[in-house]
Structure 1
Amino acid sequence: MPRFFSNRIWLLSFSALACGGMMSGGANARPRVQVASVAHLPNGKVVKAVTLSNDHGLKIRILSYGGILQSVEIPDRHGKIANVALGFSTLDGYVAHNDDPHFGAILGRYANRLANGTFTLEGKTYHTPINNPPNTLHGGFDSFDRKLWTIVGTGSDQSGAYVKLKLVSPDGDQGFPGNLTTTVTYMLSADDSLSLNFKAKTDAPTVVNLSTHNYWNLNGEGSGTIEPEILQVFSDRYVPTDANSIPLGTLASVDNTPFDFRTPHSIAERLRSRDPQMVAPRGYDKCWVLNVPPSKTLYLAARVSDPRSGRVMEISTNQPGLQVYTSNSIDGRYVGPSGHAYRQGDALAFEPEHYPDSPNHPDFPSTELKPGEVYDYTTVFHFAHD
């Protein structure tokens, strides 16, 4: 059986993050990177796919459109390879449909919600598109997941393979102030960890909250429900919200609530709870307050395992919060590479980020970015099996 970490802060060491060991014997996994042109957008621009792989059987595919993590292939306890990330099999699927599920996308400028599409910064009020009435969700209609990113670097050595993507968001883009230059670096390490490093700079005061929106099913994409999966979240508090998923302004204890994952529990155990905080979003869709102060040090935020496949994933970050979502709005409209339709509860999404609507809550950790400052946050997904 996989071992679980106790409910306390764990300092992440890339070389020591082991939860069951490597996917296969030996630390020398020979990470590699490949780049290929795969499709054209309606405007004729070329979309590229970057594949990061190693000899442990891991293969990660990233699209320059939306910075999308299209697939994550990893072995189970018997060595069987499967894609554990939900998504579309072609670029057309992302262009036509991904404004709703945001499969695998980079979220920006502001991940999660802004109440009524409004925030005030240094005495001036800004308005952003209402794409999730009555709020702005994940940056608006034409957000980062609908942009063509530029590949500015790739490389590989014995420790890892990486691709660095860049996007310049002009002043006024989706109502946000300042010219914002963002880079996202995906790296697959020899120890079977996939890291995403986000950096951003601005030439005027603005707000920034970047994250990734991957949908995970450790039994395999298209295999059905994630209810048997076992989740642990290293958090004593969460962010209660109203019926529109906007924070009430307080942080609540997880004690005696469906949000207490300080010890491991199956997703199914309390998924159908009558707790009002579960009823409105039709499942889990909350931001957990991580048990660490914001810093540049990575800490373990959550761990999920699948008893059917034996696959295990740990999420580490230096963000202050972790949004966990049980794909409550997925309703059969989308079909993945497996040929199977996705339905409610078929995946877990983990979004390491600042709290929702932070610009409108002065007591929350600030998301303001000023000229001369660097937004710099990292998330790591470590894969293993029992």
Structure 2
Amino acid sequence: MHLHARLLALGASLLPMASAETSGSKGPGPDKDGLYWIKSEGLMAGFITYGASLSHMLVKDQYGIPRDVVAGFDNATYYEVDKQHNHFGGVPGRYANRIRNSTFELDGDITFSIVDPDGKEGFPGEVVSYITYTVSDWTWDFKMVALATTKKTPIMLSSHVYWNLDGFANNETNTVLNHTFHLPYSGQRVGVDNILIPTGDILANQKGSVNDFWSAPKQIGASFSDPELKDNCGFNCTGYDNCWLVNRAQNGPYDWRNDGYVARLHSAWSGIQLDVYSDQEAFQLYSCNGQNGSVALKTTQGLKDNKDFPRTIPKYGCVVMEVEDWIDAINQPAWGRQDKQIIEPGGDPYVLQASYRFSINGTSSK
């Protein structure tokens, strides 16, 4: 079961409605559909204030055709209408992913500012977050800064975007099982029970196993015939909804911006490649096991005259890629990560930085 199917029980939801500023000052308002747009030579990105969500990301494929590679809705108002899928592209918080037993113990930009009040969903203290999105050339950068203003509280944010690098327009398949995925630093993952709650175990991803994306790139669907993949994403679930650790420090000091991607997603059909760089030390991949064809594609997606596939998102029709810290570390003191996730008034803020770099088959321009 994926994150947002269990949201309220597990301690995370979309951050609330935000206010927006463009290029550091009050900029143009949203378009007729409620989207704020920022553009560069290679990218067009549309955002909404609901959860500081990425709603549209248009990238030209290897044939020069613009592909909208993220799931969402045409109009911002629909995010509040469809309560089942209103998390598309948003910032989950105050603590993303899963918390065991729903409890814890404490001792050229667009910037969205969000205030999460004391007591919401049981979290102590007010938190003020600033989510800054930037596009430049073929790169989408974002930075998330969160401040605890009144009480000590857990904070762990992320970006919850649903990707399909074919723009849901592939005439050969309507899933992303053809996409190639690589996690070069992720030889371990967080162990979970059959409802995906962390157990406290750190598991090895053996070379050649279904969760091995580190030894070499492989298609997301490469292991779907392997019996080991059944229950991999929870009871009676075949697919991925797992948190891999990012162990770059094993090779010595590193510069997260320049010393290699933590994840790579590539579609040979569209030629679009996405390299993810981040200062975070975990990475969650979800293979859209819970999608069932109930979400319509946007007008910017799909093939209008394709009678082979309906204009909806099917099971395995997308992937979520989240940069974050180790999930449920606030309940696992032996991991030694609580200082990264428990933030106090007057102390250091919570900071997450990431760079999503697009290219065409590894080349950043045509």
Q: Distance in 1 between matches of 2:350 and 2:254?
A: 12
Per-residue CA deviation, residues 242-289 of structure 1 (Å, 9 max, x unaligned), is 111111211111114211111110111113432243463431000010
TM-score (norm 1): 0.75
Matched to 2:29, the amino acid is A
Tell me whether 1:225 sits opposite 2:157 in the alignment: no
**CA displacement at 1:49 relative to structure 2:** 2.2
Tell me whether 1:195 sits opposite 2:141 in the alignment: yes
Q: Distance in 2 between matches of 1:222 and 1:97?
A: 23
Tell me whether 1:320 sits opposite 2:276 in the alignment: no
Tell me whether 1:37 sits opposite 2:30 in the alignment: yes
Matched to 1:291, the amino acid is N
Tell me whether 1:331 sits opposite 2:283 in the alignment: no
Per-residue CA deviation, residues 350-370 of structure 1 (Å, 9 max, x unaligned), is 011122222211123221111
SS where residue 168 of structure 2 aligns? coil
Per-residue CA deviation, residues 104-133 of structure 1 (Å, 9 max, x unaligned), is 1111101101122211111xxxxxxxxxxx
Match of 1:270 in 2: 223
Tell me whether 1:79 sits opposite 2:64 in the alignment: yes
Whether the 8 Å CA contact 1:273–1:279 is kept in 2: the answer is no
Q: Distance in 2 between matches of 1:221 and 1:185?
A: 27
- Give 2:264's match in structure 1, choosing from 288, 298, 303: 303
Q: Distance in 1 between matches of 2:122 and 2:255?
A: 29
- Give 2:89's match in structure 1, choosing from 104, 107, 110: 104
Give me the identity figure in percent: 26
Q: Distance in 1 between matches of 2:358 and 2:271?
A: 11
Per-residue CA deviation, residues 318-350 of structure 1 (Å, 9 max, x unaligned), is 111000000110111111214711111001110
Q: Distance in 2 between matches of 1:222 and 1:370?
A: 47
SS where residue 248 of structure 1 aligns? strand
Q: Any gaps of 5 or more consecutive residues in structure 2?
A: 1-25, 303-310, 362-366
Whether the 8 Å CA contact 1:222–1:346 is kept in 2: the answer is no
SS where residue 240 of structure 1 aligns? strand
Structure 1 pair 363–250 and aligned structure 2 pair: CA distance change class (3 A): same
SS where residue 196 of structure 2 aligns? coil
Matched to 1:324, the amino acid is L
Match of 1:351 in 2: 322
Match of 1:283 in 2: 239
Q: Any gaps of 5 or more consecutive residues in structure 1?
A: 1-32, 40-46, 123-160
Match of 1:341 in 2: 312
Q: Which moved more, 1:201-210 or 1:101-110?
A: 101-110
Whether the 8 Å CA contact 2:180–2:267 is kept in 1: the answer is yes
User: Which of the two has greater helix per residue?
Assistant: 2
Q: Distance in 2 between matches of 1:179 and 1:52?
A: 30
Match of 1:22 in 2: none
Structure 1 pair 64–212 and aligned structure 2 pair: CA distance change class (3 A): same
SS where residue 121 of structure 1 aligns? coil
SS where residue 37 of structure 1 aligns? coil
Tell me whether 1:253 sits opposite 2:199 in the alignment: no
User: Which of the two has greater strand per residue?
Assistant: 1
Structure 1 pair 326–100 and aligned structure 2 pair: CA distance change class (3 A): same
The residue correspondences of 1:159-238 to structure 2 (distance < 5 A) are 161-190=108-137, 192-203=138-149, 204-221=151-168, 223=170, 224-234=174-184, 235-238=186-189
Q: Distance in 1 between matches of 2:254 and 2:111?
A: 23
Matched to 2:204, the amino acid is S
Q: Distance in 2 between matches of 1:361 and 1:101?
A: 30
- Give 1:379's match in structure 2, choosing from 342, 350, 354: 354
TM-score (norm 2): 0.79
Q: Distance in 2 between matches of 1:100 and 1:111?
A: 16
Q: Distance in 2 between matches of 1:90 and 1:112?
A: 27
Match of 1:370 in 2: 344
Matched to 2:227, the amino acid is R
**CA displacement at 1:217 relative to structure 2:** 0.6
Matched to 1:227, the amino acid is L
